């Protein structure tokens, strides 16, 4: 989390420079709470960058809302900010620093590429959060993430793998932008089309698509998975 205007500007400048290196429809910056969500200075800089790139950008910022201080994903397009969504599944460390869980709201936003849902980091580990976004109509889910944990090379693959599972479960495209890797682009069938190296500053670009319809898992939730466990247990017992 940036603790000064100088740090906020430095983070913005790094992410803006990386953004300019590739031509994409969406850019997902990492979870770094680089500025307040209502900071007019950075909102103007971001809007100028969006216009320059002719694309949408998802950033992670601090939102001082009526419901508390939230770690928040903000989606900005050529039309301006079109939506924000607070992180629900906060960590104990975030709680100690005064962050509050966001409300269980699941807005989706229209873009030329399809309906977009946004979320933040550890939300990907709660199965129902991406599911609710998919139920609301999202075909693309974009998440700023932080999986630093002291520069470990072992945690990022674990952290990123849940993005693959959520894509398959709900047949949505997932875009994960992380602090130190593993940034991923995952298509609705779980195929990773772009993957960042771990502990290296980089930007990745991957081609993906949106898929029609909804899955049984999206419609009915966890019971489908538990039913498969029961069926498997029945098959094992019958075989014995």
Which run of H or E residues covers position 134? helix 127-135
* pLDDT score at 231: 85
Q: Would you state the pLDDT for residue 240?
A: 55
- The yes-or-no verdict on residue 181 having pLDDT over 80 is no
Give me the percent of the chain exceeding a pLDDT of 90.
79
Query: Would the pLDDT of 184 be above 70?
Result: yes
Check residue 225 and give its pLDDT: 75
Give the global pTM.
0.92
Model confidence at 204: pLDDT above 70: yes
What pLDDT, on a 0 to 100 scale, did the predictor assign at position 226?
Answer: 81
Kindly report the CATH number assigned to the domain that includes residue 92: 3.60.110.10
Contacts 24+ apart (CB under 8 A), 51-56: 51/78, 52/20, 53/19, 53/20, 53/23, 53/24, 53/27, 54/78, 55/24, 55/25, 55/26, 55/27, 56/25, 56/26, 56/27, 56/111, 56/116
Number of compact structural domains in the chain: 1
Phi, psi (degrees; rounded to nearest 5) at 83: 180, 155
pLDDT digits (tens, 9 = 90+) for 134-175: 999 999 999 999 987 777 888 888 888 999 999 999 999 999
- At 221, the pLDDT band (50, 70, 90 cuts) reads confident
pLDDT reported for residue 238? 64
The DSSP output letter for 136 is T
**Residue 2, pLDDT score:** 78
Average pLDDT over residues 24-43: 96
Check if the beta carbon of residue 87 is closer than 8 Å to that of residue 121.
Answer: yes
pLDDT average, residue stretch 86-115 = 96
Name the band, by pLDDT with cuts 50, 70 and 90, for residue 119. very high
What is the domain range of residue 120?
5-239
Question: Distances from the Cα of 123 to the Cαs of 94, 104, 207, 239, in angstroms?
Answer: 13, 11, 24, 39
């Amino acid at each position: 989390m940036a603790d000064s205007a100088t740090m906020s500007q430095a983070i913005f400048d790094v992410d803006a420079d990386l953004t300019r290196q590739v031509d994409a429809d969406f850019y997902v910056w990492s979870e770094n709470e680089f500025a307040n969500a209502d900071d007019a200075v950075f909102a103007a800089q971001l809007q100028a960058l969006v216009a320059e790139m002719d694309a949408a950008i998802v950033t992670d910022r601090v939102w001082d809302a009526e419901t508390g201080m939230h770690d928040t994903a903000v989606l900005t397009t050529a039309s301006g900010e079109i939506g924000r969504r607070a992180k629900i599944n906060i960590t104990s460390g975030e709680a100690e620093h005064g962050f509050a869980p966001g409300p269980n709201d699941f807005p989706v936003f229209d873009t030329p590429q399809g309906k977009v849902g946004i979320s933040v980091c550890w939300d990907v580990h709660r199965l129902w959060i991406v599911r609710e976004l998919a139920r609301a109509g999202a075909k693309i889910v974009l998440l700023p993430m932080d999986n630093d944990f002291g520069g470990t090379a072992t945690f990022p693959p674990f952290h990123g793998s849940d993005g693959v599972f959520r894509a398959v479960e709900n047949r949505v495209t997932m875009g994960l932008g992380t602090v130190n890797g593993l940034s991923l682009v995952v298509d609705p069938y779980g195929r990773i089309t772009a993957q960042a190296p771990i502990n290296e500053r980089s930007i990745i670009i991957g081609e993906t698509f949106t898929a029609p319809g909804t899955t049984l898992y999206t419609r009915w939730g966890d019971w489908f998975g538990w039913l498969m466990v029961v069926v498997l247990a029945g098959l094992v017992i019958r075989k014995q």
